[in-house]
Amino acid sequence: MAAPQVGINRRILALNLGDPAGPFTMINPEITWHSDEHKKFTLWDDCLSLPWLMVRVARYESISVKWIDEAGKPQHWEKLNRALSELLQHEIDHLDGVLSTDRACPVKTKTFAGSGSGSAAEDAKAANGQAPSVLLSTAPGTVEASALYAEAERKGTKGPAAPFSFDETIISRAVYESNPSYWNAQVDYFIQPT
C-alpha cells in the first residue's frame, strides 16, 4: 500500500511479497522504463481504498523501477513480470493521486447475445431484451443502453434488439463476485483467489 492511503503524504510504498524478503518499504519509487504503450494488458483492479469496487484498467506488461531502501541505499528492479508490474503501477499511481477509477478503461467492446461471454444467463437476458445485471458503469454507451432497457421494462415492451455493445468498466465487488468467471473472461489477466 501507499503512504497517502493512510494519510501520510510521502512518496513511500509498504509492500510484502512474502518470503524471503517479508515486509519492506520503497522510498521515492520511480518507473524508469516501461514496455510498449500499445501492448498493455487489462485486469480488474482491486484497491484497498475502494474495497466495494472492481475497475477495469490497462497496465504496462512490464516496468523497471528504482527506489531508495530503508537503509538509504539505491535499489532497482528491471523488466518485472505482470504481477509485480501491475502492482507497482497501481501503488505508484497512489503517490501521484491517481486512483483506479481515474484509469477506468473500456478497452474491449463486448457483444452480449451469442458472445460466448461465459454467462448463459446474461446472454439469454440480452437475447430477451433485458438489461444485464450491472450496477454501475462509466461507459456512456452502457448508460444509454441501460436507460433504454429500463424504459422498455417500465412500459412492458421489449428493449432494443440484441446484440448491443456493452463496455463495463467499473462494477461493484458484489456483482464481480456473483460471477467471477464471466468478468474474468473480459480481461487479459486476473489473480486467482487463494
Closer CB to Zn ion, residue 17 or residue 124? Answer: 17
* Cβ-contact 38, 52 below 8 angstroms: no
Establish if 105 lies at the interface with Zn ion (CB under 5 A).
no
Q: Please report how close the Cβ of residue 90 comes to Zn ion at its closest, in angstroms.
A: 6
Q: Please report how close the Cβ of residue 56 comes to Zn ion at its closest, in angstroms.
A: 15
Question: How many C-beta atoms lie closer than 10 Å to residue 170's C-beta?
Answer: 24
- Residue from 121, 120, 113 nearest 159 by CA: 113
Given the residues 86, 91, 122, 168, select the one marked as catalytic: 91
- Strand order of the β-sheet with 53-59 is 41-45, 53-59, 170-172
- Residue from 141, 100, 120 nearest 185 by CA: 120
Residues 32-51 that bind Zn ion (CB under 5 A): 47
Q: Please report how close the Cβ of residue 9 comes to Zn ion at its closest, in angstroms.
A: 15
Closer CB to Zn ion, residue 94 or residue 125? Answer: 94
Is 91 a known active-site residue? yes
Closer CB to Zn ion, residue 8 or residue 124? Answer: 8
* Cβ-contact 71, 25 below 8 angstroms: no
Residues marked as catalytic: 91
Which residues of the shown chain bind Zn ion in the complex (CB under 5 A)? 47
